[in-house]
Each structure stands twice: as structure tokens, then as C-alpha cells.
Amino acid sequence: MKNAKSVYLDKEKIKSFEEIKQKEISFFQRDNQIEKILSNKDILILPSSLAWQKYSWTKKFFEKKPKEGYFIWLKKQINFPLLICLGIYSPQKKQNLNNLLVIEKNVKVKVITNCYSQKSNLKASHQAKGKIILKEKSQLNYHHFHYWHSGDKVSSDYEFILKNNSSLFYSYKNFSSPKNLFLKNLARLEKGASVDLKITTQAEKSKMKIIDSIILAGENSQGILKLRLVGKKDSQIENQSEIIAKKQSKGHLDCQGLLVEKRSEISTMPKLVCQSKKAQLTHEASIGKISEEELNYLRQRGFKESEAINLIVNGFLQNNL
């Protein structure tokens, strides 16, 4: 399988995503309409509203009766990644999604989710609220990609529940920013569970609020939270990140910001809360600007100023992630 990055980062490919990758998509929602749901014996995918009716146990995970969204229940090991596509194609559409992903014991899976507006001036509104449950010894490798336009409003609020000895790798990347972005991720870890959360975002003509929490509730749980925030023209990024250790555990918080333009602002508030003397929590945080020396060096390698800035920004976003 090609790596997710090369296939899914190209904007042109995203435009025709459903045509190219139709066969591989597990769940595809266009505006408010579900276009495709994968059917497979080892995995159950339903609209959330139907799951609410059919499986009463799901009710505890939905705060209220869902209208839109997906329910994915991975019962057994599958040998392909799940591709989820949530796109807005028509003007002024509002998506209000309630998603639930349940991964059974010992199952390992890769999930790639693309959320996007297909073109500019749609003034799209995308609200996603979800819970992701990793049962004992399960593993989830989750890549979450956002492609939005300057008039869009986006909110993404996810809670990850990690049962004993499960592990989550979660990577969020934002490649073109909406007007407003609210991003919230909360991970609760039980005994021996581990999480690696990576958030990379670029803001341009955009206001973003990013809240991340890792709660190390189980013994020997481990959490890493890394953020790379880039403030481009007319942008404001507000970040609050915390790791709370309730038992013997390890956590590391790493937040770095890069201001590219004068009219941009990044504020970050890293917080560590330690409730066990056996826990070890560390953090590092910095906000800087583009180095003139690096910029000039790259220009002397034949890159225009804007190309050199992009190279530095991309390097920053990938550095140590």
C-alpha cells in the first residue's frame, strides 16, 4: 500500500477522491448523504442513527440520538486500511456528525479519514463529535486529514478510550485552513495503554482553538503529545494542552510554534498535572520565527522566497514527528 501521505495530500486528488478511490472507501458521506458503506464480514459499518436503534449498548457512547455520522465496529482483524471520506460539495451545507469507532480485543487497524470542502466559497460547516474505543491489546493507527477553505467553519471533538494494553497512534494534519477551527482531542488511558498524539496545523486567515488532553489513568500507561503550529497571514492559534498522570506512568508534551507572518499570533499553554509520585511528566514548548539565514540559504539554492518559506514550514511540521 502506498503511504497515506503521498496518496491523500494532493488537493487535485482530493477533488476527484471518490472517483479514484471509490473501491477502497469504507465510508463516504457527501454533504448530508451517505454515498457508500463498505460491507464485510469482519467489520460492521452503519449510519450512527441506525446503530443507535439496533445496538442499545452504543447509546452510552452517543450523548444523544445521532442524526448523522458513522458507526464502525471492527470485530476481527482486517488486512486493509479503513478509508473514511467526509466531504462537503454544496454551498452552505452543515454536517453534524456523531461518530463511533469500536475496535475489539487484539485487533490492529489503520484508519485514514479525510474531511474537506470540495471548493472555495461553499461556506461549509463541519461538526464532528466522536468516540473511539480501543479494547484490550488493540492497536489503532489513525491519520486524520483536513482540507478546508477560508469561509468554512470546522469543529472536531474526539474522545479516545484506551483499554488495558491498547495503543493509539493519532496524527492530525491540516493542509488548508478554515475560517474557524475548533479541535479537541481527549485520550483516557487504562493500565499499560499507550498513546502518541501528533497535531500539525497551519493557519492562514484563520482562527483556531486546539485543546488536547491525555489522562494517564492506568498504571504503566504512556502518553506523548506533540504539536507543530504554524501561524501564517492573519491567523490566530490558541492552544491548551495537558497531560494528567493519575498513576505510575510517563508522559511527554512537546509544543512548537512557528510564526511566518507579522499579522499572526500563537499562544500555547502546556500543562502537566501529576497525581502520583511515581509518575514522570515532562514538557518542552517554544514559539519562533523563520530564520533569515535559512531563508537566504535556500534562496541561494534557487528557491523563490515563498518556496523557501514553504520548505522551512514543511520541515518544521515534520521535524521530530
Partner 1 sequence: MPNKVLLKIENLKVKANHQEILKGINLKIEKKQIQAILGPNGSGKSVLCQTILGNPKYKITQGKIIFQEKNINKLPPEKRVKLGLALSWQNPPSLRGIKLVDLLKKISQEKIKIEEGKHLLNRQVNLDFSGGEKKISELLQLLSLKPKLVIFDEIDSGLDLEKIKKIAKIIKKEFVDRGISLLIITHNGEILKFLKPQLTNVMIKGKIVCQQKNFQKVLKTIKKYGYEKCQKCLS
What letters, b where the CB count within 10 A reaches 16 and e where it falls short, cover 243-280?
bbbbbebbbbbbbbbbbbeeebebebebebebeeeebe
Quote the CA–CA distance of 316 and 228 in Å, as a whole number: 7
Q: Are 203 and 175 in contact (CB under 8 A)?
A: no
| Count of positions on this chain that bind partner 1 (CB under 8 A) | 23
In DSSP terms, which residues pair with 102 in a beta bridge?
A: 73, 133
Q: Residue ranges of the alpha helices (H) in the chain?
A: 4-8, 11-15, 17-20, 48-54, 292-299, 305-318
Residue 64 as a binder of partner 1 (CB under 8 A): the answer is no
Q: Are 55 and 48 in contact (CB under 8 A)?
A: no
**Part in contact with partner 1 (CB under 8 A); list of ranges 52-60, 178-186, 279-287, 297-305:** 297-305
CB of 148 to partner 1, least distance (A): 24
Query: Among residues 70 and 316, whose Cβ is nearest to partner 1?
Result: 316
CB of 305 to partner 1, least distance (A): 7
**23 to 52: interface string for partner 1, x by CB under 8 A:** ------------------------------
- How many CB atoms within 10 Å of residue 15? 15
Query: Among residues 57 and 302, whose Cβ is nearest to partner 1?
Result: 302
Residues 236-295 that bind partner 1 (CB under 8 A): 291-294
| Ramachandran bin of 252, using left for φ above 0, alpha for ψ from -120 to 50, beta for the remaining angles | beta
Query: Among residues 6 and 79, whose Cβ is nearest to partner 1?
Result: 6
Query: Among residues 90 and 318, whose Cβ is nearest to partner 1?
Result: 318
Quote the CA–CA distance of 55 and 124 in Å, as a whole number: 31
**299 to 318: interface string for partner 1, x by CB under 8 A:** xxxxxxx-----xx-xxxxx
CB of 312 to partner 1, least distance (A): 7
Residue 3 as a binder of partner 1 (CB under 8 A): the answer is no
CA dihedral over 216, 218, 224, 229, signed as positive or negative = negative
CB of 291 to partner 1, least distance (A): 7
Residues at the site binding partner 1, with contacts judged by CB under 8 A: 291-294, 296-305, 311-312, 314-320
